[in-house]
Structure 1
Amino acid sequence: MEPLPTRREARAAETGGSPRAAKAPKETAQRGPVASVFRAIGVGLSAGLLLFMLGLAVIVVIVPIATGSSTFTVLTGSMQPHLPPGTFIVVRPTPAEDIRIGDVITYQLESGKPAVVTHRVIARTIDGATGELTFTTQGDANNTPDPKPVTAVQVRGVLWYAVPYIGWVNNVLNGESRAWLVPLLAGVLFAYAAWMFAAGVRDRRRTKRAAAAPPASPPGDDPA
């Protein structure tokens, strides 16, 4: 009586002895590290994007509100190269007597009017008769000083910090749109952070389960 074929021999007969079939588990195992690398890169990029968006929200919205500062967007090139058009600037209210030559101030073209200009102080003048303090300003890219002196009541504040090109975002968020865009952005960011955290916990659990699982026994010959 002929001996029964072993399991390995039967599997080889079913696949026609194809080497490709025997190598399939090895190829599957090789895909694991590659997938892990791409997953890690994706998580890193996502975390970087989240941190960038959070930082942007802090700079554009939270810090100005918390400090009582005002935000503006540079629209002209009079302060180039330091403040090119589109620069987002934050100015802090500062007593007029603390403003010094060389400070960059934002002031109203006319007292009580919304139009403002951001230029550098090049001179301070105190009227001998009235004691009124005025400032002479000039744009860094301009060849001549501004024609009219700036009074203390016109000054909105002194430049605190500036972020290039973010000013266009500030323009979008100005007015009524800020009332719903800012909470929406915050909600999206927190939801994304929660999703990333949950995905990380799930992946760690899968890894632990895979590590705790008993290794598969190698295929052997069945007894005849």
Structure 2
Amino acid sequence: MKPRPGQLGTAVLAVLLALALAGVLAPAFGWRLDVVQTGSMSPSIGVGDLVVTSPADPGDIEAGDVISFRSEGALVCHRVVSVDRDDGAFVTRGDANEGPDPSPVAYGDVLGKVVLDVPYLGHVISFLKSPFGWALIILLALLVLVAGGEEKRSKKNEDRGEGRR
């Protein structure tokens, strides 16, 4: 079956809208969508991956879980190595790092537990947030509108018999 004009553009636009909707809805439920900037969690989580972080009660976080937290103003996603329930802190380590992080992570600094890692999607999102990405989105939307209008005109002409010679 031959794809009709505008189908690819419509599909791309639908995917972009789904991403935008997820970006709007996730925070409404306390979830975070973050693009991984460093390789400290390689190979488990790579640079440019999109991680989804769910709010989590510190009592439900245990060794082996990957958590998101703020450290010196930066967002960090590292694996919990051990839990100090008495001090209310986690010892964390990036999978690619030699040893644990220098400072324990206080319960209050935890943003949540990483529940999903989508490889490479962060690269796409970062691109789409750039000025060139926005221009591409606008161009695709215009192309979908034009192709849809052309398809309707072509169909109308065929129905009238004007398309046959």
TM-score under structure 2 length normalisation: 0.73
Aligned in 2, Cα 1:68/1:123: closer, same or farther, shift over 3 Å? Answer: same
Q: Distance in 1 between the 2:91 and 2:143 partners? A: 49
Q: Distance in 2 between the 1:41 and 1:208 partners? A: 17
Q: Distance in 1 between the 2:158 and 2:62 partners? A: 61
Look up the match of 2:39.
Answer: 77
Q: Which one has the bigger helix percentage?
A: 1
3-state SS, counterpart of residue 117 of structure 1: strand
2:99 aligned with 1:144: yes
1:58 to 12, 21, 26: 21
Unaligned runs of 5+ residues in structure 1 are 1-36, 217-224
The aligned length equals: 160
Look up the match of 1:219.
Answer: none
Look up the match of 1:106.
Answer: 68
| Contact preservation (8 Å) 1:122, 1:135 | yes
Using the TM superposition, give the Cα deviation of residue 90 of structure 1 relative to its aligned residue in structure 2, in angstroms: 2.8
2:11 aligned with 1:45: no
3-state SS, counterpart of residue 6 of structure 2: helix
| Contact preservation (8 Å) 1:122, 1:137 | yes
Look up the match of 1:117.
Answer: 76
2:158 aligned with 1:210: no
| Contact preservation (8 Å) 2:6, 2:148 | no
Select the structure of larger CA radius of gyration.
1
Taking CA–CA contacts closer than 8 Å with sequence separation of 6 or more, which of the two structures ends up with the larger relative contact order? Answer: 2
AA aligned to 1:199 is E
Q: Which one has the bigger strand percentage?
A: 2
AA aligned to 1:48 is A
Supply the RMSD in Å over aligned alpha carbons: 3.3
Q: Deviations over 1:120-150 (max 9, x none)?
A: 11222221xxxx4221212122232223221
Look up the match of 1:133.
Answer: 88
Q: Distance in 2 between the 1:82 and 1:115 partners? A: 20
Q: Distance in 2 between the 1:212 and 1:162 partners? A: 51
Using the TM superposition, give the Cα deviation of residue 171 of structure 1 relative to its aligned residue in structure 2, in angstroms: 8.1
Q: Distance in 1 between the 2:42 and 2:64 partners? A: 15
3-state SS, counterpart of residue 97 of structure 1: helix
Q: Distance in 1 between the 2:116 and 2:149 partners? A: 36
Q: Deviations over 1:26-61 (max 9, x none)?
A: xxxxxxxxxxx5xx35433223322332233234x2
Aligned in 2, Cα 1:137/1:115: closer, same or farther, shift over 3 Å? Answer: same
Aligned in 2, Cα 1:202/1:65: closer, same or farther, shift over 3 Å? Answer: farther
3-state SS, counterpart of residue 64 of structure 1: helix
Using the TM superposition, give the Cα deviation of residue 151 of structure 1 relative to its aligned residue in structure 2, in angstroms: 1.1
